[in-house]
Chains A and B, each alone.
Chain A
Amino acid sequence: MRSRAILAAGGVLALTVALGACSENKNTDSDVDTDRVSSGAIATDPADSKGPAKPVDGAAKGGTFTVIRQTKISHMDPQRVYSFVGLNTAPLYARFLTTWKDDGKGNVTLVGDLAETPGVNVNKDCKVWEFKIKDGVKFEDGSAITSKEVAYGIARSFDPDLAGGPTYIQEWLANDAAFDTKWDFKANKTSLPPGLTTPDAKTLRFEFAKAHCDLPFAASLPATAPLPPAKDTGVELDNKPFSSGPYKLVKNTVGVEMLFERNEHWDANTDPVRNAYPDKFVYKFGPNAEAQTNRLIADGAEDQATLGWNGVDSSLVAKVAGDAGLMARTLREPTPSAWRLSINTQRVPDLSVRQALNYAIDRPGMVKAAGGDLKVAALTTLMPPSTLGFKKYDAYPTDIEKAKSTLAGKTPELVLVIGDDSGAQELGTQVKNNLEKAGFKITIKVIPADSKLDETKKKDNPWDLYLDSWAADWPSGAALLPVLFDGRTIKAEGNSNTSFVNNDAINAEFDRVLALDPAAQAPEWAKLDERIMKELAPAVPLYADVMFVMQGSKVGGVYIDSIFGYPAFTRAFVKQ
Chain B
Amino acid sequence: MLRFLIKRLLLGTLTMFAVSLVAFGMFFMLPRDAVATMCVKNCNPERLERVRVELGLKDPLIDQYTGYMKGIFVGRDLGSAQGGFCDAPCLGYSYTSSEEVSDIFARVLPVTLSIVIPAAVLWLGLGIGLGMISALRRGTVFDRLAIGFSLTGASMQLYFVGGMLMIIFVYTLKILPVPHYTSLWDDPLDWASGLVLAWVALAFLFSAVYARLSRAQMLETLAEDFVRTARAKGLTKSRAYGRHALRAAITPIVTIAGLDIGGALGGTVITETTFGIQGLGRTAVEAVRLGDLPTIMATVLVSAVFIVVANIVVDLLYAVIDPRVRLG
> Which positions in A face B, CB cutoff 8 Å?
1-3, 6-7, 9, 71-72, 74-75, 77, 82, 160-161, 163-164, 166-167, 177-178, 180-181, 186, 234-236, 238-239, 253-256, 284-288, 291, 294-295, 297-298, 300-303, 448, 450-451, 454, 493-494
B170 x A256 contact (CB < 8 A): no
What sequence of 0s and 1s flags, for each residue 161-184 of chain B, a beta carbon within 8 Å of any chain A beta carbon? Answer: 000001100111010011011000
Q: Assess whether B229 is interfacial by the CB under 8 Å rule.
A: no
Residues of A within 8 A of B180 (CB): 284, 286
Are B47 and A160 neighbours in the complex by a CB distance under 8 Å? yes
Task: State the 3 A-B residue pairs at the shortest beta-carbon distance, nearest first.
Answer: A287-B276, A161-B81, A238-B98
Contact check, A285 vs B47: say whether CB atoms are below 8 A apart: no
Closest B residue by C-beta to A171: B42
Known: A298-B172, A300-B170, A303-B178. A178 touches B278 (CB 8 A): no
B81 and A300: CB pair below 8 A?
no
How many chain B residues touch A (Cβ–Cβ < 8 Å)?
A: 45
Instruction: Looking at the assembled complex, report how far the CB atom of A549 sits from the nearest CB atom of chain B, in whole angstroms.
Output: 17
Question: What's the Cα separation between A288 and B81 when bound, in Å?
Answer: 31
Q: Which residues of A contact B98 (CB under 8 A)?
A: 75, 77, 235-236, 238-239
A235 close to B82 (CB less than 8 A): yes
Query: Do A298 and B170 contact each other (CB < 8 Å), given the known contacts A163-B38, A177-B44, A255-B97?
Result: yes
- Which among B42, B81, B97, B166 is the interface contact of A254 at CB below 8 angstroms? B97
Known: A286-B278, A295-B171. A255 touches B283 (CB 8 A): yes
B15 on the A face (CB < 8 A): no
Q: Are B81 and A235 in contact (CB under 8 A)?
A: yes
B139 within 8 A of A: no
| Cβ-defined partner of B177 (8 Å) among A255, A256, A288, A302 | A302
Report the bound CA distance from A21 to B79 in whole Å: 46
A7 to B47, CA, bound (A): 20
Q: Cβ of B286: which chain A residues have Cβ within 8 Å of it?
A: 71
* Contacting residues, chain B, for A300 (C-beta < 8 A): 170-171, 174, 178
In the complex, which of the residues B83, B104, B172 contacts A236, with contact meaning CB atoms closer than 8 Å? Answer: B83
Give the contacting residue for B50; candidates A9, A160, A288, A298; CB below 8 A: A160
| Chain A residues whose C-beta falls within 8 Å of the C-beta of B174 in the assembled complex | 298, 300-301
Query: Hey, which chain A residues are within 8 Å of B276, CB to CB?
Result: 286-288, 291
Can you identify 14 A-B contacts, CB atoms within 8 angstroms?
A2-B41, A9-B37, A160-B54, A164-B38, A164-B40, A180-B50, A235-B82, A236-B83, A239-B98, A286-B278, A288-B273, A298-B174, A302-B177, A450-B31
Chain B hits for A6, CB < 8 A: 40-41
B326 is an interface residue with CB less than 8 A from chain A: no
The answer to whether B107 touches A256 (Cβ under 8 A) is: yes
Whether the Cβ atoms of A178 and B46 lie closer than 8 Å is yes
**CA–CA, A286 to B111, complex, Å?**
13
Q: Given known contacts A163-B38, A234-B80, A239-B98, is B167 in contact with A494 (CB within 8 Å)?
A: no
Cβ of B177: which chain A residues have Cβ within 8 Å of it?
Answer: 302
CA distance A82 to B180 in the complex (A): 28
| Contact with B166, one of A75, A291, A301 (Cβ below 8 angstroms) | A291
Q: Is the CB of B80 within 8 A of A161?
A: yes
Q: Which residues of B contact A234 (CB under 8 A)?
A: 80, 83
